[in-house]
Amino acid sequence: MVLLCVAGLGTPAQASATDPAEDKGSFGISLLDVTPSHRSDPRALTKIVDHLTPGTVIKRRVLLISELHQRRVIEIYPGAAAIGNGKLRVGEGHATNELTSWISLDHDRVGMSAGDKTPVEVTIRVPSTATTGERYAMVWASLSSKDNARPGGSQIDAVNRVGIRIYLHVGPGDEPPSDFTIGTMVPALDDKGKPTVTVEVNNTGGRALDITGEVSLSDGPDDTRAGPFSFDTTTLAPGEPGKLTASLPANLADGPWKVRVSLTSGTVKHSAAGTITFPRAGEPGQPSRLSGVSTSWPTVGGALGVASAVVLTGLVWAARRSRRMSAAAPRQAR
């Protein structure tokens, strides 16, 4: 039997080792290098975000960090990923795609004790025949109880892994711009009667986006204000529409309310405003068209991703959330 955990991506998350009875430590992976042309993109601090022309070779370093209480073997490898339905979805185990076939590592297994830090070089070789478009993958650090088992130990293989996302665009010339639009907002009540707002967005640029943000309410009954409240993050491929939802306090008045939405993905920012009224229980909410109130700055990567790298930090820790392994269908990255 195999138990698998996929770590929360982009946000540090503490976790135990594969056998809590023996080792209550944790391990993590961080990105050390980023192309100077992407230094202004906050996502590039924790993800490999790049634009390359066919035939280009780049190298990026990641850092494995052990806070495990015993010496353990950590496996590191590339894995397939895809974007759909507002999420980055990762393949089980060593699942492959076109991008993973371009990736090589200078280590595939590292023995680590408490306090050890081991850099690993990630090389991406883009074939000269590569077609234009986006590709997605992961660099995984994985800890398996099977690889670290004692004789006569448990037959359950618990796997913890944590990874760094790769968003790679391939094509001639400059990187395509990143941008998105904000559309309609729908107020609603969830199954427990708690108010929510859902806003439509659309990726109108040429790069994948991780859109997040917040909503604030004002000019409500008795001139009340509320918020800001955070939206869940949605990840969209180029041309893909999506939705972001925020949960609001249960005691919020029906309204009407003026709302202001502020959304961002990397260096791209948009704001919009409108008016909403929450429906009564059991009734559908009325969509409200939001209008833009500020100008965003679509980003274009100016370099080809081969300039010298800069050192940065941003540790992502392995999370333990054991579950049975499903079939080889892609899973949602958390």
* Calpha distance 8→319 (Å, rounded): 7
Q: Is 254 exposed, middle or buried (0-12, 13-18, 19+ CB in 10 A)?
A: middle
For 271-281, b where at least 16 C-beta lie within 10 A, e where not — what string?
bbbbebebbee
* Calpha distance 60→81 (Å, rounded): 19
What's the DSSP call for residue 206?
Answer: S
HEC assignment per residue over 6-28: ECCCCCCCCCCCCCCCCCCCCEE
pLDDT at residue 65, as a whole number: 93
Residues of the chain with CATH 2.60.40.10: 2-175+301-332, 180-292
Host H or E run for residue 212: strand 209-218
The SS3 assignment for 107 reads coil
* Calpha distance 315→119 (Å, rounded): 13
* Token representation of residue 172: 């001639």
pLDDT at residue 159, as a whole number: 72
- Closest listed residue to residue 322, CA positions, set 163, 165, 161, 164: 161
* Calpha distance 91→124 (Å, rounded): 19
pLDDT at residue 310, as a whole number: 39
* Token representation of residue 145: 């109880």
Please name the fold of domain 2-175+301-332.
Immunoglobulin-like (2.60.40)
For residue range 23-67, list pLDDT tens digits in order: 568 899 999 988 777 888 888 889 999 999 999 999 999 999 998
pLDDT at residue 326, as a whole number: 35
* Calpha distance 213→233 (Å, rounded): 8
pLDDT at residue 307, as a whole number: 34
288 contacts: CB under 8 Å, gap ≥ 6:
184, 185, 186, 187, 259, 274, 275, 276
Q: Is the peptide bond before 12 cis (omega within 30 degrees of 0)?
A: no
Return the sign of the alpha-carbon dihedral for residues 38, 57, 81, 162: negative
* Token representation of residue 5: 């955990």
Q: What is the pTM of this model?
A: 0.80
* Calpha distance 239→26 (Å, rounded): 38
pLDDT at residue 63, as a whole number: 94
Q: Is residue 282 left, alpha or beta, with left meaning phi > 0 and alpha meaning psi from -120 to 50?
A: left
| Under-70 pLDDT residues of the chain | 1-24, 145-158, 293-334
What are the two backbone dihedrals, phi and then psi, of residue 221, each rounded to the nearest 5 degrees? -55, 135
Please name the fold of domain 180-292.
Immunoglobulin-like (2.60.40)
The SS3 assignment for 100 reads helix
* Calpha distance 48→105 (Å, rounded): 14
* Token representation of residue 164: 């760094």
For residue range 236-283, list pLDDT tens digits in order: 999 999 999 999 999 899 989 999 999 999 999 999 999 999 998 878
Return the sign of the alpha-carbon dihedral for residues 259, 242, 132, 94: positive
